[in-house]
Amino acid sequence: MTTFIGFSTQGLRKKFTLVDEELIKQDLINAFNIRQGELVGRPDVGTAVWDFLFESQTVETETAIIQEIQRVAGGDPRLKISGVEVYPQLNGILIQVQIQFVPSTTVERLSLFFDQETRRASYI
């Protein structure tokens, strides 16, 4: 039974309708592609992860990134974060997030790459 229904024109799909987990993942990546404060009148929408791309990767920076990922994902009641790992890369930041889709018990590990060249977050 489908719980959530939405649509997306991203990617090379002929079918634009997304349901359940695919819709939740698309909504999450959309939230990560908005810089915090970029949406007019909604300063709480988006993420500040982009501000950490050019910072030195210290324990404090990693902790701040993890807290930011949890804050953004925590804004969506359809998922729960059970783990976040941060891996600095030469041209961005790789973040692995373990999420549980609510109300189901489905758990999935997502690999997000924040690319400093294209300024886009994407799943890999």
- Give the domain CATH number at 97: 3.10.450.40
Q: What is the pLDDT along the chain (124 residues), one digit of tens a residue?
A: 456 555 455 554 555 656 567 888 888 998 999 998 888 888 888 899 999 988 888 999 999 999 999 999 998 898 999 999 999 998 999 999 999 988 888 899 999 999 999 999 999 9
* Cβ atoms 18, 83 nearer than 8 A: no
Sign of CA dihedral 34, 37, 42, 45: positive
Instruction: Read off the tokens for 3.
Output: 């719980």
As a 3-state breakdown, the chain gives helix, strand, coil percent values, each rounded to 5, of 25, 35, 40
Domain count, the chain: 1
Confidence at residue 85, expressed as pLDDT on a 0 to 100 scale: 96
By residue range, what is the domain housing residue 41? 5-123
Return the pLDDT at 14. 56
Q: What is the pTM of this model?
A: 0.82
DSSP 3-state of 106 = coil
Which position has the token pair 């210290």?
58
